[in-house]
Amino acid sequence: MLQCEPLPDFRAHCESLLPNMPESSLPESLDDRIRGVLREIRVPDLPYPVGRADPGNHRDWQPMLQDSWRAQSDQRVSALIAGLEGPWRVPQVNAAYLADRIMDVFLRSSGLHPLLVTRLARLRYPLAWRLVEEEDFRFISLLVRWLDSFDDWRGWSDSGGRSSRALLDQLDRLVDVIDEGFRSGDTEAFESFCLAWHAEAERRQGHSTRLHQRLLETEFGAARQRRADQVSRALVGRALTGRKLPAATLRFVVDQWLPLLRQVAWQEETTTDTWRHATRLLEWMVWAGDPELSGQNLERLYQVGEQLSDRITEVWQRVWEDVPPATPLSELEAVLVERLRGGNPAVEMAEPWVRRLAFDPRWLDLADAPAEEVSRYQGQWFVQGSGDTEQRRFFLAFLEDTGDVLWSNGYGVRLGTMSWPAFTEALGSGAMRPLPPLSRFGDVLADTVLALDRVLESQRRQRREAARLAREKAEQLRIEKEAEEQRRREEEAARLAEAREQARLAREQEQQEEAERLEVERRIAREQALAQVDGLKMGGWIALAEGEGERRLKLAVRINASRKLVFVDRLGLNRTELSVDTLTERLLSGNARILGSTAEFDETLSRVVGRIRVGRR
């Protein structure tokens, strides 16, 4: 059994490669922010209640969330409640959005295997439920610590192996645990599950450390053995390729000298004097056995022949601490003796022996990997493939003896090796890529809540600004309304004043027109009256109004110079003088009238009638 010295301080080395159990929980500073987000934030296109909601009038969503969890649905909680008839309380709508937002971000950025994080994201249903139901957020604190412990499982792949299946079994059990929490309304079942989970994680971490130590010791020893075997095969294969050698030489080289070279390469490396001597003796055996190489230089053949057997014995004893086997060595010596005597021993092509070696000449010139690059990649996770079929592997160590990368599943199980050139080529082509740093659930939750808190604060500022603008607008509207009312009153007053002015002007116009009409009529009447006065002849009668009666007068004299008219009564007495203008004015005023011939006839008739009556008496 080959032995190999373990790495110094190996336990500390392994523990540095494996994450420690997180002690994270929900920061107390987030409590108030979460409550504020649940109560106040508003997100477009979500089914918020219309108007002022009745606290007692809302739909119980616990059965719906429990059914979705039991069915392991991937539907978002917001989409679920949007497709159902409410009404929903504001905290329910916001809890659905917050749970979806947290789990969606975790789904995209966690760095866990897609199949694994898809199952974990379904915890959005109990998360949304407990956000509304809890005041102290006990469930969320448990969930944060539990999900943060998945740092241990960052290298998990759906390989179908025992460790892979063990985690899936735990998640299957989690379905029943959360379902029990829905039924009981508390977190006791989930808390017990988490305690058992963390205890198992600590046990698994200690076990993984031991497995990794054992794996490294085994792989470093195997790598050294493999390198010794491959280098010795390549060296012998290269030496025999194309050669024709006696069968004894071929047997000795392949059956005796090849194991010695392998032992030297494993025990003392390929840079020691023993290795150089063993390599030189291999060259001598091939050169001396092949007539095409040594047939033209007999002097050197004698020199080699004299020393070869002793040198072989010397190196053999140095390596094996024993003498070479007598028969194979004596057969080799017999061939040398025959050659030295000038004979031609039978030879054969070495190709069948070369094929048996199945060697790779690249082992003779194995390039060293750059130490800085190895240091940069060692202890890191890498991913091959994508989606649910991606496979993750841990760069546990670089095997310098073989130039290979040793892959592990992170828990001490060997996943194979890959040559350094193949590794760098896979990185360059994208077939393999470093696993990005994990996003812990606690960080995702905190970042999401803080981001939403900033949105909420912005909405609060907007609401305050909107309220201020509303007050200013109301005040502005009031002022504008008062101004409009004042303007309307002023316009009305102006309209009324204008109407009054128009009415006044209309009245004045009408009065003026009436005055003008009256003046025209008066003038016409005056002209007519003046014409009547001018046309009054001597003896013409007029009637002047006096009291309730009238007095009749007869024109006796017309004085043209002074435009006076002298009137007398019927008896020719009681002289009355009137100017033409005065009589005209009295005619116009209706206080006088011209009787003319009709009056004269009436007067005459009256006298005749009076006389008749007097005569009858």
Between 11-20, 153-162, 251-260, the lowest mean confidence (pLDDT) is in 11-20
Distance separating alpha carbons of residues 562 and 577, to the nearest angstrom = 11
Q: How confident is the model at residue 251 (pLDDT cuts 50, 70, 90)?
A: very high
Q: How confident is the model at residue 601 (pLDDT cuts 50, 70, 90)?
A: very low
Q: Taking all residues of the chain, what is their mean pLDDT, rounded to a whole number?
A: 83
Q: How confident is the model at residue 15 (pLDDT cuts 50, 70, 90)?
A: very low
Q: Which residues contact 348 (CB under 8 A, 6 or more apart)?
A: 244, 245, 246, 247, 250
Q: Is the pLDDT of residue 602 over 80?
A: no
Distance separating alpha carbons of residues 113 and 387, to the nearest angstrom = 8
Q: What is the pLDDT of residue 19?
A: 41
Q: What is the pLDDT of residue 111?
A: 85
Kindly tell me the burial class for residue 52, based on how many C-beta atoms sit within 10 Å of its own C-beta (0-12, 13-18, 19 or more).
Answer: exposed
State the average pLDDT over residues 421-438: 88
Q: What is the pLDDT of residue 13?
A: 41
Q: What is the pLDDT of residue 523?
A: 78
Cα 507 to the center of its chain, rounded Å = 80
Distance separating alpha carbons of residues 103 and 452, to the nearest angstrom = 14
Distance separating alpha carbons of residues 313 and 322, to the nearest angstrom = 9
Q: Is the pLDDT of residue 50 over 90?
A: no
Q: What is the pLDDT of residue 175?
A: 94
Partners of residue 576 on adjacent β-strands: 567
Q: Report pLDDT digits (tens) over 217-240.
A: 888 888 889 989 999 999 999 999
Distance separating alpha carbons of residues 569 and 571, to the nearest angstrom = 5
State the average pLDDT over residues 78-88: 87
β-pairing, 348-349 vs 244-245, is: antiparallel
Q: What is the pLDDT of residue 256?
A: 93
pTM, 2 dp: 0.62
Of 326 and 574, the one with more pLDDT: 326
Q: Report pLDDT digits (tens) over 366-388.
A: 778 888 888 888 888 898 887 77
Q: Report pLDDT digits (tens) over 552-564.
A: 888 888 888 888 8
Per domain, the residue ranges of the chain are: 31-216, 243-349, 371-434, 541-616
